[in-house]
Structure 1
Amino acid sequence: MASRTRRPERRQEPLTRERIISAAVELLDTVGESGLTFRALAERLATGPGAIYWHVAGKTELLAAATDAVVTTTITGDDTDATPQEAIRALALGVFDAFDAHPWVGTYLARRPGQSPMLRVFERIGRRVQALRVPEAAQFTAASALMNYILGVAGQNAANLRTLQPGTDRTEFLDAVATAWTELDPDQYAFTRTVAGQLRKHDDRAEFLAGIDLILTGITARQ
């Protein structure tokens, strides 16, 4: 009688908080915040919702942890050898790209401005503002201006991308908007008509960094 070949048991990767958060980020990127449920997350992790609750108390905690994970990767770079201006630009661009890749992050942070991810970004900006030797009385204003610009523009850019239909060609879309601008009433929209051509060919990241440079120029000029 032929002996039965025994299949080796498949070793499953242990369920950890880190795996849960990573899967939550992937789910949020795919279906957004409304699609993040413990049932959907359990299916993705091939486990039961009860096992997830052992590591995460609920959706609120899960969203906070997922946001923190994304922001942490953005602000952990080594900028020891960078100038304060270079460090601020790098941080700003990191946040911009993170919001672009994970649009839900900006929405979550806007609802919870006092959460630790926001404070970490603010702390990092503030230290670079101090390194610029900004007077103490003006440091809060300078750091807040940078913070509000970074989060506002990065968040708006991510929101704009979410409104586009899948497969939309960016060049064609901007060309259509720019064309519409040129057809506006010349008396009411004289400036908008003038810059329509710049809208057609502008680069979002380059314009974002140009805004950072304008703010930094103003901060250093006031000294």
Structure 2
Amino acid sequence: MAARTRRTERREEPLSRERIIEAAIGLLDTAGEGGLTFRALAERLATGPGAIYWHVSGKDELLNAATDAVVAGIMTADTNDTAAATDSADTAAGTTPQEAIRGLALGVFDAIEAHPWIGTQLARAPGQSPLLRVFEHLGRQVQALGVPHAAQFTAASSLLNYILGVGGQNAANTQTHLARQPGTNRTEFLDTTSAAWADLDPDAYPFTRNVADQLRDHDDRTEFVAGIDLILTGITARRQVAAD
């Protein structure tokens, strides 16, 4: 009788597409893309693979949905539902195009660091909605900057490529470091690398030796934003030249 009562009180949350995507994100974070199988997902959700197939058709759709969920969260946090916002609404809220671009860039950077598989998925499917969300936001801000139409694609693409490239490389560096040197922290790793740079052949690597101390003391997010500002400076300068 007691056992029957326990079964009655134990109520499982209904399986939904949202629950599946949430579980898939957790599995991707811990096991990577290779660990995302419908069998592993079914075990995590305490259900059968067939029930999951009722909501998603396969792994590709699941990866895209998981990526889109993370990217949609970035947009909501950065611009209070940018997907539905207009440039005029951004201006009314007191956000400049430069600030909006920096905010989105940092959001994507942090998301890739927290979910390293995101960078690969965004780069792999340029025509799908997750990447298009980011590109659309960047494009709107490029337009708001007054960039001539003929240069808008180049400006938005340059920003996008920088964000994905640096964000993905930062995540890859972190993963590689943890795999090769478990137990060491970032400070120890940078101290060791900086010392190795400072000890290079001065004739072959004069520049690298000269910035070895900057490597040791740098902050990844600060350097990332500095790169965004360099691109924005170039975009602004080209806009001014075109206007003259």
For residues 17 and 170 of structure 1, the distance between their equivalents in structure 2, rounded to whole angstroms, comes to 38
For residues 18 and 127 of structure 1, the distance between their equivalents in structure 2, rounded to whole angstroms, comes to 29
Unpaired stretches in structure 2, ≥5 consecutive residues: 81-89
Structure 1 residue 147 corresponds to structure 2 residue 160: yes
SS at match of 2:230: helix
User: Paired residue for 1:103?
Assistant: 116
SS at match of 2:5: coil
Check whether the contact 2:24–2:41 (CA below 8 A) recurs between aligned residues. yes
SS at match of 2:56: coil
SS at match of 2:131: helix
For residues 96 and 122 of structure 2, the distance between their equivalents in structure 1, rounded to whole angstroms, comes to 28
Structure 1 residue 180 corresponds to structure 2 residue 193: no
User: Paired residue for 2:52?
Assistant: 52
SS at match of 1:7: helix
For residues 121 and 78 of structure 1, the distance between their equivalents in structure 2, rounded to whole angstroms, comes to 12
For residues 68 and 183 of structure 2, the distance between their equivalents in structure 1, rounded to whole angstroms, comes to 30
- Per the TM alignment, residue 78 of structure 1 is displaced from its structure 2 partner at its CA by 2.4
For residues 158 and 40 of structure 1, the distance between their equivalents in structure 2, rounded to whole angstroms, comes to 24
For residues 190 and 106 of structure 1, the distance between their equivalents in structure 2, rounded to whole angstroms, comes to 33
- In the TM superposition, 1:110-129 aligns within 5 A as 110-129=123-142
- Out of 152, 158, 177, the position equivalent to 2:171 is 158
* TM-score (ref. length: structure 1): 0.95
For residues 33 and 162 of structure 1, the distance between their equivalents in structure 2, rounded to whole angstroms, comes to 14
Range 137-146 or range 163-172, more displaced: 163-172
**Which structure shows the bigger proportion of residues in helix conformation?**
2
User: Paired residue for 1:221?
Assistant: 237
User: Paired residue for 2:25?
Assistant: 25
Check whether the contact 2:79–2:100 (CA below 8 A) recurs between aligned residues. no
SS at match of 1:188: coil
SS at match of 1:32: helix
User: Paired residue for 2:79?
Assistant: 78
Identity level (%): 74
Check whether the contact 2:142–2:155 (CA below 8 A) recurs between aligned residues. yes
- Out of 5, 23, 33, the position equivalent to 1:7 is 5
> What one-letter code is carried by the residue in structure 1 that aligns with 2:108?
V
> What one-letter code is carried by the residue in structure 2 that aligns with 1:86?
E
4+ long deviations beyond 6 Å: none
- Per the TM alignment, residue 210 of structure 1 is displaced from its structure 2 partner at its CA by 0.5
Unpaired stretches in structure 1, ≥5 consecutive residues: none
* TM-score (ref. length: structure 2): 0.87
